[in-house]
Amino acid sequence: MTQEATHDELGEYQGEHHDHGPAKGLTRWITTTNHKDIGTLYLWLAFIMLLFGGAMAMVIRAELFQPGLQFVEPDFFNQMTTMHGLIMVFGAIMPAFVGLANWLIPMMIGAPDMALPRMNNWSFWLLPFAFTILASTLFMEGGAPAFGWTFYAPLSTTFAPDSTDFFIVAIHLMGISSVMGSINIIATILNMRAPGMTMMKMPLFVWTWLITAYLLIAVMPVLAGAVTMMLTDRHFGTSFFDAAGGGDPVMFQHIFWFFGHPEVYIMILPAFGIVSAILPTFARKRLFGYSSMVYATASIAILSFMVWAHHMFTVGMPIAGELYFMYATILISIPTGVKIFNWVSTMWRGSMTFETPMLWAIGFIVMFTIGGLSGLMLGVAPVDTQYHDTYFVVAHFHYVLVTGALYSIIAAFYYWVPKWTGHMYNETHGKIHFWWSTIAVNVLFFPQHFLGLAGMPRRIPDYSLQFAEFNMISSMGGFAFGLAQIFFLYIVVKTIKGGKKASGQVWEGATGLEFEQLSSPPPYHSFTKAPDIKD
Amino acid sequence: MRSPTLKLSLMALLMFGFSFALIPLYDVFVALTGLNGKTGRIEVSAIDPTRVDTTRVIEVRFLANTGSGLPWSFEPLVKKMDVHPGKLYDALYRVRSSTEMPTTGQAVPSVSPGQAAKYFNKTRCFCFTQQYLAGYESRDMPLQFIIDSAISENIEQITLSYTFFIVDKT
């Protein structure tokens, strides 16, 4: 394309040569309606939150390094586990995926921008306020919320610190932001595809995000409802979750997990899309089973609404309920298995090379599968009674969220950062980052399986002596993993500032509109004229 | 461009409403499954005295607890009872306030196993209304119950638990 040639030769930030470049200074970021700027903002927010939530994880692992109480009070420890969970789920993983969606979806479907650019700006700028409100609770009298990220009633109603109201407002803001972002993404995908970009030609990242956005619109309002009920229970005399007034604390868990289970797929479906983009590039083969991937994603999304009570097997449930939720849960492994096999088949007899994004993507497949298998164990009702609320659960969801969701986000960064900035990252640094993180993360989380099976409960600042060795090993892995992400920060900054020039296609085997038809970096306003879609 | 935006916003609003609709739905679910052991209430006139099943004996155990913040001692005067399904029985609980302040409490029942809950009906219960106790007052409170003879053959023992919660904030 013409855009590519001129801009590659100039080798500067192309936006400035167009009629509408970015504004100068800070106002650019506050008033921007450009999908690339907003994507960048989301990604930086996610990174800052990752480091913030990571610092809390370091406090947790430092306290658990040895049995006994060393550094923090038990109540502060509980605040750390609660805030770590909330910040990582709502502040790191979700905004990172929305940031990737903003950057990539318009470029992948040949659209000039998102469908609702001003709302896009607003959905981002709600978040810094939401997280400032949430983080401010740490400095309040009575401390931050300490009831776990699942905020079960009555711990979060009758027995919660005053700062819980700030937490409720923060959740509302995040929910509004997510719902607006999702509406924007769906409107963009449905209305703004270039002529010829049919639904079944869309890259899988676009497909998975379309389905994720529907999930978000369906369940974030339910979460908003749950925190609203908490608020009225706390201050306006209602008894939704208060047994004394005829309410039921177990109902809170049902409502929460009706949100919470689709939420875990919200945090993994876009990851499936990312891996499905990276593997074909470095295996130099088309993705195996494209349409089965689309159907598998949709099946996972639908099933995710029908399995919520597998998080609550121990609350006391009729045996028929346990059986239903157990079988429905295990059913999800079928579409998930379809995906894993399709990825493996994509790599089968491919001309594979192992650049950094490919390493993270393969790391994702291997370790996400480990997390998936421990998830199957947890889904079996009779054995869940033993695993429930132990470190086995902690190990399980960190395998799917850290080595799953986070690994895919880091893979996406390495894969698309040359496209975004026009600079190649340092390949040696990228590989060091991968191997360092991967060894550390397994030292960190693998022993937690054994701790859980041996009976160590989660969310406790102190433990019996027999758990000491594994906890020490786990903590050392934790510190190493934390340090690796500081190294990642260095890589990110260095790549943005400069580096070997990336070509338009970036990778030898890369396909898709963003690689085939745009320069690296792309112009500030790309696809102002709809691209030609090849067959 | 407008129409998906509007439709999707409406969907978000509907789902917010749905989260509140989950509460009556949950009550239906609880009534169907007996989850949480919520008991039923019937009128004496609705009882058919000819349906007493003297061939079966079910052991009923009584438990009593007080929630935090309510300085009452609360206990059943009879700990367990052997009953026939379809027949009306009386039980007594004794409650005593251990504070000089007047206090009000509300008892909340729960039956275990859950499947028995919808067959465990009461014609009279101190849990139907709030109980007011003057300082150091002691009171014997009656309970009249009947187990529906349609209850499953497999159930040979039922535990009835009451928890008194404080009613205050005034």
CATH number, position B90: 2.60.370.10
The rounded percent of chain B whose pLDDT value lies above 90 is 31
Nearest residue of chain B to residue A258 (CA atoms):
B19
Q: Are residues B56 and B17 in the same domain?
A: no
Question: How many angstroms separate the CA of residue A246 from the nearest CA in chain B?
Answer: 8
At CA A26, angle to CA A21 and CA A28, rounded to 5? 30
Active site residue A265: yes
Please list, in sequence order, all residues whose beta carbon lies within 8 angstroms of the beta carbon of residue A371, skipping any fewer than 6 positions away: A396, A397, A398, A399, A400, A401, A403, A404
Task: Give chain A positions within 8 Å (CB) of B9.
Answer: 183
Whether A292 is a known active-site residue: answer: no
Our answer to whether residue A113 is catalytic in this structure is yes
Amino acid at A107: M
Question: How far is the alpha carbon of B19 from chain A, nearest alpha carbon, in Å?
Answer: 5
Interchain contact, A224 vs B19, CB within 8 Å: yes
Distance between CA atoms of A228 and A234, rounded to whole angstroms?
A: 10
Residue A183 is nearest to which of B9, B16, B20, comparing CB atoms? B9
Do B27 and B59 lie in one domain? The reply is no
As a whole number of angstroms, the distance between CA A92 and CA A55 comes to 13
Among residues A209, A265, A360, A399, the one annotated as catalytic is A265
- Contact B1/A115, CB-based, under 8 Å? yes
**pLDDT number for residue B114:** 78
Give me the pLDDT at residue A318, please: 80
Q: Closest residue of B to A259, CA-based?
A: B19
Residue A95: Cβ within 10 Å count: 27
**Which neighbouring-strand residues pair with B105?**
B131, B166
Number of helices (H) and strands (E), helices first, in chain B?
1, 10
- In the structure, what pLDDT confidence band is assigned to residue B121 with cuts at 50, 70 and 90? confident
Say whether A187 and B5 touch across the interface (CB within 8 A): yes
Q: How far is CA B6 from CA A123, A211, B12, in A?
A: 17, 18, 10
Q: What's the confidence (pLDDT) of residue B2?
A: 56
Residues 6+ apart with CB under 8 A from A26: none
Same domain membership, residue B29 and residue B63: no
Residue A520 falls in the annotated catalytic set: no
Q: Is A276 a catalytic residue?
A: yes
**Chain B residues inside the 8 Å CB shell of A115:** 1, 5
Q: Do A221 and B22 touch (CB under 8 A)?
A: no
Chain A residues inside the 8 Å CB shell of B14: 221
For B4, the closest of A191, A219, A258 (CB atoms) is: A191
Same domain? B22 vs B76: no
Closest-CA residue of chain B to A256: B19
Same domain, B19 and B42: no
Catalytic residue among A82, A137, A177, A374: A177
Q: In chain B, how many domains are there? A: 2
Confidence check: pLDDT of B1 > 70: no
**Candidates A458, A459, A503, A516; catalytic one:** A458
Chain B closest-CA separation from residue A158 CA (Å): 11
Identify whether residues B29 and B44 lie together within a single domain.
no
Which among A164, A188, A208, A276 is annotated as catalytic?
A276
Note the pLDDT of residue A1. 41
> What is residue A7's predicted lDDT score, i.e. its pLDDT?
43
Domain range for B10 is: 1-33
List chain B residues with CB under 8 Å of A182.
Answer: 8
- Does B115 share its domain with B77? yes
What is residue A15's predicted lDDT score, i.e. its pLDDT? 46
Residues B59 and B107 in one domain: yes
Nearest to A186 among B4, B26, B34 (CB): B4
In this predicted model, what pLDDT tens digit does every residue of B133-157 receive, in sequence order?
A: 888 999 999 999 999 888 888 889 9
Q: Which pLDDT belongs to residue A202?
A: 96
Closest partner CB to A183 (pick from B8, B114, B167): B8
A302, A527 in Cβ contact below 8 A?
Answer: no
B5 with A116: Cβ contact below 8 A = yes
pLDDT at A34: 95
**A416 labelled catalytic:** no
Smallest CA–CA distance from A243 into chain B, residue: B108
Active site residue A415: no
Supply the pLDDT for residue A20.
63
Q: Kindly list the residues from chain B whose CB atom is less than 8 angstroms away from the CB atom of residue A258.
A: 19, 22
Give the phi and the psi of residue B133 in degrees, each rounded to 5: -120, 130
Judge whether A35 counts as a catalytic residue.
Answer: no
> In tens digits, what is the pLDDT along chain A, a chain of 535 residues?
434 444 444 444 444 444 567 878 888 999 999 999 999 999 999 999 999 999 999 999 999 999 999 999 999 999 999 999 999 999 999 999 999 999 999 999 999 999 999 999 999 999 999 999 999 999 999 999 999 999 999 999 989 999 999 999 999 999 999 999 999 999 999 999 999 999 999 999 999 999 999 999 999 999 999 999 999 999 998 989 988 777 888 999 999 999 999 999 999 999 999 999 999 999 999 999 999 999 999 999 999 999 999 999 998 788 888 999 999 999 999 999 999 999 999 999 999 999 999 999 999 999 999 999 999 999 999 999 999 999 999 999 999 999 999 999 999 999 999 999 999 999 999 999 999 999 999 999 999 999 999 999 999 999 999 999 999 999 999 999 999 999 999 999 999 999 999 999 999 999 999 999 999 999 999 999 999 887 6
User: Is the domain of B147 the same as that of B90?
Assistant: yes
Integer Cα distance of A236 and B166 in angstroms: 17
Contact check, Cβ <8 Å, A316/B114: yes
Residue-level pLDDT at A25: 84
Listing from the earlier edge strand, what are the strands of the sheet with B58-66? Answer: B80-83, B58-66, B157-166, B103-112, B131-133
Closest residue of chain B to A242, computed from CA coordinates: B165
| A398 labelled catalytic | no
Do B99 and B29 share a domain, yes or no?
no
Residue A263 bears catalytic tag? yes
- Partner-chain contact A244 B67, CB within 8 Å: yes
Q: Please state the rounded mean pLDDT for residues B10-21.
A: 94
Render pLDDT for A404-419 as a digit per residue (tens, 0 to 9).
999 999 999 999 999 9
Q: A61 catalytic, yes or no? A: no
Q: Is the pLDDT of residue B49 over 90?
A: no
- Interhelix angle A356-379/A407-421, nearest 10 degrees: 150
Query: What residues in A contact B32, CB-CB < 8 Å?
Result: none
Query: Is B12 within 8 Å of A321 when comparing Cβ atoms?
Result: no
Residue of B nearest to A213 (CA): B8
CB–CB of A408/A271 below 8 Å? yes
Q: pLDDT class for B30, splitting at 50, 70, 90?
A: confident
Residues B152 and B72 in one domain: yes
Spatial distance between the Cα atoms of A444 and A460, rounded to a whole number of angstroms = 17
Dihedral angle sign, alpha carbons of residues A475, A480, A485, A490: positive
Per the annotation, the verdict on A118 as an active-site residue is no
Distance between CA A167 and CA A147 in Å, rounded? Answer: 11
Is residue A188 a contact partner of residue A111, using CB atoms and an 8 Å limit? Answer: yes
pLDDT band (50, 70, 90) for residue B36: low
The minimal CB distance from B15 to the residues A187, A221, A317 is found for: A221
Q: Pick from A299, A361, A311, A363: which is nearest to A336 by CA?
A: A299
Residues paired with B110 in a beta bridge:
B161
pTM for this prediction: 0.89
Tokens of A88: 């990582």
Contact criterion met (CB below 8 Å) for A204 and A276: yes
Same domain? B17 vs B93:
no
